[in-house]
Structure 1
Amino acid sequence: MTTVSAVPDVSVWDNPPHLDPRGTIVLFPGRGEDPSLYERFGARFGADAYRVRAVADPSRHPDRAIKQVKEILAADDLSHPVVLAGSDGGALFAAGLVASGEVTADALLLAGLPVHRADTVAAPNAWDEELGARTACSTHQGRLAAADRLERGAVYTPLPSEWFERADLAAVHVPVLALHGAADEISPLSEARAGYAAAPRIELVSLVGGRHDALNDASHRTSAATVLLFLERLRLGPEAPLVAVREKLAVREELPS
């Protein structure tokens, strides 16, 4: 197993200097992931003037991850809306912080939320199989295979039961956007729906054919577009009103010849 032992620094992507920041995304990586793996996500939203901060993996460095988040949120130049985001175990951890009131955010972004199950998903014997379960994007698979950026097999390590108890989405009253792969074998969508449904103000978007890493899968552009629309709505107020509405056009009846 490849291990990543050092506690990582916060990975930072900023708004361009000629543009004022439009908001802040603070992201918890998934199990075994280095925050630098979110460079594509961070650069994309940074270019749209949203500040992105990816902190330490809470499954390995929970105290450090919380400390990093609280330092970011205490900054004098913090730009709102503030979205606490997470992938895999990071999504569960983020939900727990907001549900418990330990961290205040304007919204939650959850990707590939883990399911609490009595049996554990068995880790595949082959690395290629794990890569395929994580993402179908060949570019991101290359990032995951790079040395010191991922602890292989970590995504199959059970998360603490108290994380699931704490992440009571019924206690989360800010807007929640959830992205989940329809073909996720690690956290099956059919089982995850019940957890998502507890949130009073949630929008669940399933990605057709999507694997576990909903932010870095082959459909990453669709995921990013969905997140960007959510962010733009949050800028209009806490109710996240619609920015664009799909209009229905009446079908004209053809006149008889």
Structure 2
Amino acid sequence: MAGHAVGVALDPAQEKAYVVTDSGKLYSVSLTHHVKREFVTTESLGSPGGVALDGEGKAYVTDHSGNRLVRVDLSNGTTETVVTGVQAYAVKLDTEGKTAYVTGLDGKLFAVDLGKKDTKKLIVDGLGPSTSGATLDGNGKAYTGNWNHVGNLWEVDLLADRPTKRAVTALSRQSGDIALDGAGTAYISDHWGDVLYKVDLASGAQRVAVKATGSFSALGVALDLDNGVLYVSTWEGQLWRFALRVLQSPELIEITTGV
């Protein structure tokens, strides 16, 4: 892929992954035939950091250089700016696909109403520099990390009258993107350390799950629980797939990339 593959989102029903690169490209990748296709969009996507799907033919892509969130119609490549004024890096949608939760590189988390033009609400700030990876647990909690900074794994209570944040644990590595397995474990990318590691949300314990000989600069992560696989996009423009049952074992996975 052209550029660094910074974010990935999955469409298991169509057996596709959607990957964005920091060069402003959006790709679809067949998960069965391993064929990639570049989308030709009606305008540049700027400097993406993340991508999310609404399940209705639309992709939402962050553009941190343009301080905006962009909607892409996957049927024809038409783009539309949804919200501005956000140093947008990561994006996740709620289960209804009506609200996007967007992290800003300035340490903020916003809720964006996708049904209205340029409507956002600040949820919390003070999440640290280079706030990046965000994920939702489906039960009113969001988790964020910092891709260029060793900081905390933050948990944000979205259901509180006044949403609050708490540090789950002080991370020993950078945290580019985050995926939850629904059983209390977070899988986190660290492109500086060339590893994928996991954190027990209850205890805060951390352990490297995947380590590379060569370059495996993990950036985007997306988990397909139904099929038991985790996808990782990398700085090298690659998309990797790992079986969740292997990642759940106590053994370290060591790979040789040849890069």
TM-score bracket for the superposition, by shorter chain length: under 0.3
Higher relative contact order (CA 8 A, sep 6+): 1
In terms of Rg, which structure is larger? 1
Higher percent of residues as helix: 1
Task: Please give the TM-score of this superposition, normalised by the length of structure 2.
Answer: 0.25
Task: Please give the TM-score of this superposition, normalised by the length of structure 1.
Answer: 0.26
